[in-house]
Chains A and B, each alone.
Chain A
Amino acid sequence: MANMKELTKGIFKENPVFIILLGMCPTLGVTTQVFNAIGMGAGVIFVLLGSNIFISLLRKVIPDSVRIPAYIVIIASFVTIVQMVLEAYVPALYAALGVYIPLIVVNCIILGRAEAFANKNTIVDSALDAIGMGIGFTLSLMLIAAIREVFGAGTITLLNLSETNRIVITLPGISKSPIRVFTLAPGALLVMGYLKAYFNWNSERKANKGGNV
Chain B
Amino acid sequence: MSYIGILITYIFIQNFILVQFMGICPFIGVSKNSESAIGMGLAVTFVTTVASVVTYMVYHFLLVPFGLEYLETISFILVIAALVQLVEMVIRKMSPSLYKALGIFLPLITTNCAVLGIAILNVQNDYNLLESLFGGAAAGLGFTLAIVLMSNIREKLELIPVRKVFKGVPIAFISAGLMALAFMAFDSSLVTNLHLV
Q: Which A residues form the contact surface with B (CB < 8 A)? A: 21-22, 24-25, 28-29, 68-69, 72-73, 76-77, 79-80, 83-84, 99, 102-103, 105-106, 108, 111, 181, 184-190, 192-194, 196-198, 200-201, 204
Contacts and interface: CB of A to CB of B under 8 A. Distances in A.
Contacts of A79: 73
A105 B117 CA distance: 11
B142 to A, nearest CB: 13
Contacts of B101: none
Contact of A25 (B22, B170, B181): B22
B70 A80 contact: yes
Interface stretch (B35-43, B88-96, B108-116, B129-137): B108-116
Given A76-B77, A193-B177, A22 B170 contact: no
A106 B178 CA distance: 27
Given A83-B73, A102-B120, A190 B177 contact: yes
Nearest to B18: A185
Contacts of B178: 186, 190
Contact of B165 (A106, A181, A190, A200): A200
Contacts of B113: 25, 103, 106
Contacts of B164: 204
A108 B170 contact: no
20 contacts: A22-B25, A25-B24, A25-B117, A72-B77, A72-B78, A76-B78, A77-B74, A80-B71, A103-B113, A103-B117, A106-B111, A181-B181, A185-B19, A188-B21, A189-B18, A189-B180, A190-B173, A193-B177, A196-B169, A196-B170
Contacts of B106: none
Please provide the 6 A-B residue pairs with the shortest distance between their CB atoms, ordered closest to farther: A193-B173, A189-B177, A190-B177, A193-B174, A24-B24, A197-B170
B35 to A, nearest CB: 23
B149 interface: no
Contacts of B170: 193-194, 196-197, 200
Contacts of A186: 177-178, 180-181, 184
A191 to B, nearest CB: 8
A111 B111 CA distance: 9
Given A76-B73, A76-B77, A99-B124, 5 more contacts: A29-B21, A99-B121, A106-B112, A106-B116, A190-B173
Contacts of A21: 25, 28, 169
Nearest to A104: B73
Contacts of A204: 164-165
Interface string B157-189: 000000011100111111011101101100000
B113 to A, nearest CB: 4
A196 to B, nearest CB: 4
B192 interface: no
A196 B74 CA distance: 33
A151 to B, nearest CB: 14
